Amino acid sequence: MQKIAAPPRAVLFDAYGTLFDVYSVGLLAEQLFPGAGERLGVLWRDKQIEYTRLLTLAGRYKPFWDVTQAALHYSVQKLGLPSTPGAEEQLMNQYRHLSAFPENLEVLKDLKSRGVQAGILSNGDPQMLAVAVKSAGFGGLLQHQLSVHAVRRFKNDPAAYALGPQALGLAARDILFVSSNCWDAIGATWCGYSTLWVNRTGAPLDQLDTEPTRIGTSLREVLEFFPALNPPSTRVPS
């Protein structure tokens, strides 16, 4: 892992998979397709990311909502599930309200109490992010909700990561980028950010000759980059 020259001055979070659990849709998927919910959730996510990469490589763009819907439609067909438009609509609506990981709200509140500028940098559409943030109870805790929709290029494209320094008015090296997706943390590292890969599943490091600045297992490890300010002493001089 790399050493940090100076503490970061702000933090940006990936949204899907980092703040919001993309596999929490598996519970509804299992109700709709008994015995296939987990498989559907995994394939749906993999195809969603694959489509973002293919579109960006080809110089094309679709909003993340449309990409997510296309990936779902492919996945139910690939698995041979007896899907209906109604079932897919239920799953898409559930995607608007993904569960947040349990420690996240506490971490975001703690960052705010420390005066840390925090935000999101995501593939998600602005409307998707707004609904997800509100549903998770994160309102008022994230000063920036940056969407690649502004540049019509998905991560790992450098134009996507450039949104952070542009919006925050800071150099990339002064911003901590946090993602549970190793490829995303590495992409941000390539673009000059300090990075934290939240490796919740114990996955191996992607072999791309680059490591994130740090690797952790929980969003709580973000707080190690931003030491709490010591309160003023109230001790009465003797």
* Catalytic status, residue 14: yes
Q: How far apart are CA 185 and CA 179, in angstroms?
A: 6
Answer whether 49's CB lies under 8 Å from 123's CB. Answer: no
Task: Kindly report the three-state secondary structure assignment for every residue of the chain.
Answer: CCCCCCCCCEEEECCECCCECHHHHHHHHHHHCCCCHHHHHHHHHHHHHHHHHHHHHCCCCCCHHHHHHHHHHHHHHHCCCCCCHHHHHHHHHHHHCCCECCCHHHHHHHHHHCCCEEEEEECCCHHHHHHHHHHCCCCCCCCEEEEHHHCCCCCCCHHHHCHHHHHHCCCHHHEEEEECCHHHHHHHHHCCCEEEEECCCCCCCCCCCCCCCEEECCHHHHHHHCCCCCCCCCCCCC
Catalytic annotation, residues = 14
